Structure 1
Amino acid sequence: MPTAIAVTSADLVLPAPDRHTPAAAVLPPPEQVDLECSLAHTAGLLERHGHLVVVVPPWLAPAAARRLRTVRAILESDRIALLDIDLPPLGTALLVRQLRQLSVFDFSPGVLASAARLLSHYIYAGALLGSVAKLDRVPVGLKAHAKSWSPSAQFAVLANPAPHLVKLGGPGAGHGAHGGGGLPPGPEFATHLTFARGQLASDWVASELAPAWRVQGVMENPLPADSPAWWATPKLVEFAAAIPDPALLHQLVASVRREECRWCGFELIGDRCGFCAAPLTAPPPGQQGQHGAAAADPYSRSRS
């Protein structure tokens, strides 16, 4: 059985794009099940799958995060990876689906867990917002704050891979890391776009953003329950574009140099172990020539 991918809420599980993609396990929060049930559920997943990779969003309630750590400690299991990937809710759901797609390949559990950070850099996650007055996830200038009080104001906001904010429907200026007006900068590789509607009546994502980003497909899904809080307004349409092809995802992950975690022994890619979170330490002086590029760029690809 492939490594199990788990989430902390059912709305982070998007429909499988094909019959080969496994479902994700949903770990119920403490208010729904007691500790004994959580232990039994997790132990059963480990027995069936061998290893468990849990995507833990930063907005998760502290009690739920403590439950996950408690279960791992009581089971004394080094086969549970808790991944703290900071993406908006819909982007998180897309990352979870990509991990589910990759779980059927022959990647070791350590490579699969550490691949999450790599894949997150290729997810373009944002939202169309009716207000940015309370938004603190992306830099918002004073002019955008002032214009946000207009009843007809709309803003296109990109949170990942780099922050970008554009006021739509008028002479707005771009704010954030890249600046400039128009649309948020899109991916330069093939993607599918997923969007979810909140309390904002707009077809802008499907009719304008999708063609401008030249996506290969568009799909609508229900809005995750935590999206209004993440974006600080219920007046939104959340969107995320990501690589949909499992073969391309496999090629991307397989092309990255693999290392061995010096703490727990798992394979990893990048600069941090997915299971114990230990950083990749610098190689001994005699090996600097061989691994120096990997230290400078944690996702440098092997040229062999």
Structure 2
Amino acid sequence: MPTAIAVTSGDLVLPPSDRHTPLPAVLQPPASQTLEASITEIHSLLEQHGYVIVLYSPALAGPFVRRLHTVRSMLESDRIALLPMELPPLGIAVLARQLRQLSVCDFSPGVLASAARLLSHYIYAGALLSSVTRLDRVPVSLTSHAKSWVPGSQFAVLASPRAELTKVSGAEPGVPEGPSFGTQLLIARGQLQSDWVSTVLAPAWRVQGQLETALPGDSAGWWATPRMVEFAAAIPDISILYQLVSSVRREQCHWCGLELIGDRCGFCSSPFADPHAQLERLPSQ
């Protein structure tokens, strides 16, 4: 069975890209599930899939985050990867689907978990906002804060792979710089009535297709306003995703022994220590 991909909310589950893409596991918050039930659920996933990768936002409620770590600790399992991702909610949903796609390929669990950080750099996630006065997850200048008080102002805010804020209303509207590779654009509408994302942003970014989806429940809190349209452009083709991950050199985690790509193990969080680099840093005798 493929490695299980888990998310912390049902609204982070995007439709499968094809009939081979498995569904993720949806973990329940402490208010909806006892600790014993959470342990039983994760244990069942481990028994069925061998390894579990959990994607969640650093903005996830503290009790839920503590529950995840408590379950991992009580199961005494190094086969559970808890990965906080610095992405808006729709971006996390996109990343989860990409990992679901790749889970049926021949990647080891360690490579799949550490691939999450790699793939997050290829997801252009942002939102169209009517105000940035309360936005604190993306750097916003005082000038932009002041402009947001002007009636009718709208801003395109990019949170990943870099922070960027562009005023899209007024005399000199702009468009944030988009990806240089082919993507599919996902659009989740909040309370802001605007077609700017589909009629302006999509053509400017030359997306290969658009897909409307439901707005994740945590999006209004993440963007500090319900008056928004969230969007995320990402690579939809599994063959390109596979090539992207497989092109990265694989290493072995010196702590847990799993394969990894990049500089950190997704399961034990141990940084990769290159013995050759360490020897080069030693002072000459």
Structure 1 segments, 4+ long, off by >4 Å, are 285-288
Of residues 219, 224, 229, the one that matches 2:216 is: 224
Match of 1:283 in 2: 275
Match of 1:293 in 2: none
What CA distance in whole angstroms lies between the structure 2 residues aligned with 1:213 and 1:142? 28
What CA distance in whole angstroms lies between the structure 2 residues aligned with 1:191 and 1:269? 23
Match of 1:25 in 2: 25
Q: How does 1:161-176 map to 2 (within 5 A)?
A: 161-171=161-171
What CA distance in whole angstroms lies between the structure 2 residues aligned with 1:126 and 1:95? 14
| Residues 234-263 of structure 1: CA deviation (Å, up to 9, x unaligned) | 110000000000010000000000000001
Match of 1:202 in 2: 194
Match of 1:13 in 2: 13
3-state secondary structure, aligned to 1:114? helix
What CA distance in whole angstroms lies between the structure 2 residues aligned with 1:171 and 1:267? 53
Match of 2:181 in 1: 189
What CA distance in whole angstroms lies between the structure 1 residues aligned with 2:255 and 2:35? 29
Q: CA deviation at 1:143?
A: 2.0
RMSD: 1.4
3-state secondary structure, aligned to 1:241? strand
3-state secondary structure, aligned to 2:231? strand
Unaligned runs of 5+ in 2: 281-285
Q: CA deviation at 1:285?
A: 5.6
What CA distance in whole angstroms lies between the structure 2 residues aligned with 1:54 and 1:133? 32
Q: CA deviation at 1:170?
A: 1.6
Q: Which residue identity is paired with 2:264?
A: R
| Residues 16-60 of structure 1: CA deviation (Å, up to 9, x unaligned) | 111110000001111001011111111110111010000021111
For the structure 1 residues 229 and 285, does the alpha-carbon distance in structure 2 shift closer, same or farther, using more than 3 Å as the test?
closer
What CA distance in whole angstroms lies between the structure 1 residues aligned with 2:49 and 2:151? 51
Q: CA deviation at 1:171?
A: 3.6
Report which stretch shifted further, 65-74 or 251-260.
65-74
For the structure 1 residues 286 and 149, does the alpha-carbon distance in structure 2 shift closer, same or farther, using more than 3 Å as the test?
closer
Q: TM-score, normalised by structure 2?
A: 0.96
Q: How does 1:1-304 map to 2 (within 5 A)?
A: 1-171=1-171, 182-284=174-276
Aligned pairs, number: 281
3-state secondary structure, aligned to 2:126? strand
Q: CA deviation at 1:134?
A: 0.8
What CA distance in whole angstroms lies between the structure 2 residues aligned with 1:168 and 1:212? 13
For the structure 1 residues 155 and 141, does the alpha-carbon distance in structure 2 shift closer, same or farther, using more than 3 Å as the test?
same
What CA distance in whole angstroms lies between the structure 1 residues aligned with 2:277 and 2:236? 41
Q: Which residue identity is paired with 1:198?
A: G
Unaligned runs of 5+ in 1: 173-180, 289-304
Q: CA deviation at 1:286?
A: 8.7
Q: TM-score, normalised by structure 1?
A: 0.90
Match of 1:294 in 2: none
User: Share of identical aligned residues, percent?
Assistant: 66
What CA distance in whole angstroms lies between the structure 2 residues aligned with 1:3 and 1:73? 20
3-state secondary structure, aligned to 2:275? coil
What CA distance in whole angstroms lies between the structure 2 residues aligned with 1:55 and 1:285? 31
Asked if 1 retains the 8 angstrom alpha-carbon contact of 2:153 and 2:170, the reply is: no
3-state secondary structure, aligned to 2:211? strand
What CA distance in whole angstroms lies between the structure 2 residues aligned with 1:27 and 1:285? 40
Q: Which residue identity is paired with 2:183?
A: T
